[in-house]
Amino acid sequence: MGKEVNGVSRSRFEMFTNSDEAVINKKLPKELLLRIFSFLDVVTLCRCAQVSRSWNVLALDGSNWQRIDLFNFQRDIEGRVVENISKRCGGFLRKLSLRGCLGVGDSALRSFAQNCRNIELLSLNGCTKITDSTCSSLSKFCPKLKHLDLSSCTSITNLSLKALSEGCHSLEQLNISWCDQVTKDGIQALVRSCPGLKGLFLKGCTQLEDEALKQIGAHCPELVTLNLQTCSQITDEGLITICRGCHRLQSLCVSGCANITDAILHALGQNCPRLRILEVARCSQLTDVGFTTLARNCHELEKMDLEECVQITDGTLIQLSIHCPRLQVLSLSHCELITDDGIRHLGSGPCAHDCLEVIELDNCPLITDASLEHLKSCHSLDRIELYDCQQITRAGIKRLRLQRLKRSLSFKTMMRSKSVENFFQRSYSDARLPPDFITDPPPPSPPLMPGSPLVGERSPSISPSLSPNPSISSHSPSLSLSPSLPAKPSRPQINHCFQDHVFRKPTNCQHCKHMIVGNSKQALRCKTCKMAAHLWCTSELSQQPCHGKSGAFKRNFSSPMLVNDQLSVVKEVQPSQETAARMRVDPVYAALRYGTSLAQMSRSSFGSLSESPTRSLVRQH
């Protein structure tokens, strides 16, 4: 092998001969071409590798493959693909993400660890075939590893943490969320050998107790981020030890830890002045006394999740408005003692003018239209959530002049029942409509005959943005549908209109389902509905009807009666009779569709499901 030139051997450059007629290959030095290629992403590099033999050498050179993210190709990634990448990249590879690649197992990662010994960041999130053997390989061959994500790898045990502690002493961030076999023994071995840990994510590790937290507090003085969500066995004792030993702590999540009290808020205020993010959702024992101490000492707070902290009142908001000028996101969902007075202090505080972006007030029954008036001074406000705020009216929303805000304000006023949400709450993989609903929705209910005992009454059609709960929907504007009208004449059929298009990301032909490849004008796309197809596939598709643009990317308001005009002012739009007739569907089908939409919707901007997102997949297999 010849002398190395910028990572490429001189023998490879011998492939660039005068027979290559491309001007760019003649004018630019090969070292400069290699430098240009280093800025391209994975897809573009693969396309460049198909241009010519010389570009193939440059595009596939290991120096261009230092950062690889295969999440978009997760269904196609198998063990042999990872092995080939490791052989091609070798010591050049620094960052690799295999998030969601269910086909990758221990054998492939062993080969990877042997070939890519300079890896610093590795994400194996959701790789459910991974076991302790992978961590043993990483410990043996990858001493430079700094960031490791093993979230939802449910086969990981204490043996993995002990192996990492023996060989990966440079580890700075570790995510073992939902690895529920981990106990205090594994945590103890890890923190004693990796004192430089800055981020530790233990979400869903339900076997952890206070003894594990005491080990973290004693051996991790550099800790910045700690996530203990749903670790239900921990108490104030363990968390106070962390506060006293980790003075640089900036982000703490203890949502779902119902045993903690105001003592932890006092400890945070006295020992962690740099705290920026605090998530204490569903910690029902916290009160205004603890939050007062926290606000008076932690002036850098930016995000707070206080959902279902049912004992807090306006006193907490008053202290936050005075002492936390950088507050950006505040969740007060289900804080039923919050009133307009607390929102008034928040809207007049120093954080309101330039910082506050998101405020969640769903299920706060004492909030009225006056709170919306107090939030007019929040010029950076981006989102307000008002689920089940039964005293908020449409008139109050309309009076809030959106043109004075920095961004277009997103109102979320859908009526959402907490019991309904919990009933439908599940992982995304379980939220599917039955096959018969997907293929053929049931026809509308037949009109009632004059002799029917329910004449004059019609079952309301439940929209996905309206609550099926009659007691709740009575407090919100409802959508009344007109009686059925004669069907309007069908429109003439409009066929697809294809034109040349360059695709910027991997796209499959919607006829033959094969990937579209090439460098310029790879295929055709319908001008109206954006359907992608190969040139040879368009002959059949061009005779099919075109249904126009999909509404999937349109901005949807939580209430069907709210739309945005050009001046960003909310206005009321009454549906026409023809539109109402078309919207009338079977009430049973509409109710099921509503429930499915709830199951697919995140509970809040902070929240996440209380179950591992891949655990349901493991059960199915």
Residue 535 amino acid letter: L
pLDDT confidence of residue 586? 56
Which pLDDT value is given to residue 520? 55
Q: Tokens for 163? A: 């192996």
pLDDT at 499: 79
Digit-coded pLDDT (tens) for 334-355: 999 999 999 999 999 999 888 9
How far is residue 51's CA from residue 485's CA, in Å, rounded to a whole number?
60
Q: Percent of the chain beyond pLDDT 70?
A: 69
For residue 579, the model assigns a pLDDT of 46
What length is written for the chain? 621
pLDDT in tens, 107-153: 999 999 999 999 999 999 999 999 999 999 999 999 999 999 999 99
Dmax (CA) for the chain in angstroms is: 96
Closest C-alpha among 220, 208, 280 to residue 244? 220
Q: What is the pLDDT of residue 589?
A: 54
Which of 558, 529, 559, 556 minimizes the C-alpha distance to 542? 529
pLDDT recorded at residue 451:
39
Classify each residue of 191-214 as buried b or exposed e, where b means 16 or more C-beta atoms within 10 Å of its C-beta.
bebbeebbbbbbbbbeebebbbbb
Two tokens at 403? 């043109």
Please report the pLDDT score of residue 492 as a whole number: 61
Q: What pLDDT score was predicted for residue 491?
A: 52
Consecutive 10-residue averages of pLDDT for the chain (621 residues): 47 48 76 89 88 87 90 87 91 94 94 96 95 96 97 95 96 96 96 95 96 96 96 96 96 96 97 96 96 96 96 96 96 96 94 91 94 88 88 84 48 44 34 33 38 36 34 33 40 73 78 73 77 79 70 33 33 44 54 56 43 43 46
Helices and strands (H, E) in the chain, number of each type: 26, 21
Buried b (16+ CB within 10 A) or exposed e, 582-593: bbbbbbebbeeb
Q: Which parts of 400-549 fold into alpha helices (H)? A: 418-424, 435-439, 470-473, 538-541
Which residues are CB-contacts of 550 (< 8 A; sequence separation ≥ 6)? Answer: 529, 530
Predicted TM-score (pTM) of this structure: 0.66
Q: Are 555 and 510 in contact (CB under 8 A)?
A: no
Is the Cα torsion angle 336, 339, 340, 344 positive or negative in sign? Answer: negative
The per-residue pLDDT for 188 is 96
Interior/surface letters 280-310, b for 16+ CB within 10 angstroms, e for the rest: bbbbebbbbbbbbbbbebbeebbbbbbbbbb
pLDDT at 513: 77
Domains in the chain: ranges and CATH: 18-64 (1.20.1280), 65-407 (3.80.10.10), 498-540 (3.30.60.20)
| Burial of 244 per CB tally in 10 Å (0-12, 13-18, 19+) | middle
Cβ atoms of 330 and 304 within 8 Å: the answer is: yes
Q: What is residue 593's predicted lDDT score, i.e. its pLDDT?
A: 57
Could you read off the pLDDT of 550-609 as tens digits, one per residue?
443 333 333 332 333 333 333 333 444 544 444 555 555 555 555 555 555 544 434 444
